[in-house]
């Protein structure tokens, strides 16, 4: 049996590989911004669960007889969603905002297998170090 990962996240694939599972990578093509707009007013946890579910549903339609996992995450700093920094400059700016602070990382997962589904959201507390300018620049340049 194969496990289908409806994600393009290198870290999600690496976690599965570390557990001894080689996933089939099938990134879901959904309009995340449109779904986030529809969910305005919902809690961040509900939003990441809905995004994970939408990704899993999109890919599960192509793999009806195999387990499909969709995932999404959101970083909250001072209870405000941070979004993904899409440029090196934005990544460097974000590191400066986060340095020495604590944030919450919400992660939603949806597992669909046949007509069964399981959705859950977890919260991880993240403590950001005071990183050097060289380390911040190296991280921003890495594309992570």
Catalytic residues: 72
Distance CA 93, CA 78 (A): 16
- Look-up of token digits 């990134």: 27
Neighbours of 8 (CB within 10 A): 13
Q: How many residues does the chain have?
A: 144
Neighbours of 127 (CB within 10 A): 9
Strand partners, 4: 24, 68
Counting Cα atoms < 13 Å in the Cβ hemisphere of 80 gives: 5
Q: Are 69 and 56 in contact (CB under 8 A)?
A: yes
């Amino acid at each position: 049996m194969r496990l289908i990962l409806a994600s393009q996240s290198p870290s999600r694939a690496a976690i599965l590989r570390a557990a001894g599972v080689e996933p089939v990578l099938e990134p879901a093509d959904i309009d995340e911004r449109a779904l986030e707009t529809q969910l305005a007013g919902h809690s961040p946890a509900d939003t990441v669960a809905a995004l994970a579910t939408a990704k899993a549903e999109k890919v599960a339609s192509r793999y009806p007889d195999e387990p499909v996992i969709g995932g999404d995450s959101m970083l909250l700093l001072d209870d405000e969603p941070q979004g993904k920094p899409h440029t090196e400059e934005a990544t460097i700016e974000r590191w400066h905002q986060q340095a020495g602070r604590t944030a919450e990382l919400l992660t939603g997962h949806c597992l669909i297998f046949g007509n069964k589904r399981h959705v859950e959201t977890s919260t991880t507390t993240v403590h950001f170090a005071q990183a050097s300018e060289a380390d911040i620049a190296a991280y921003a340049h890495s594309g992570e």
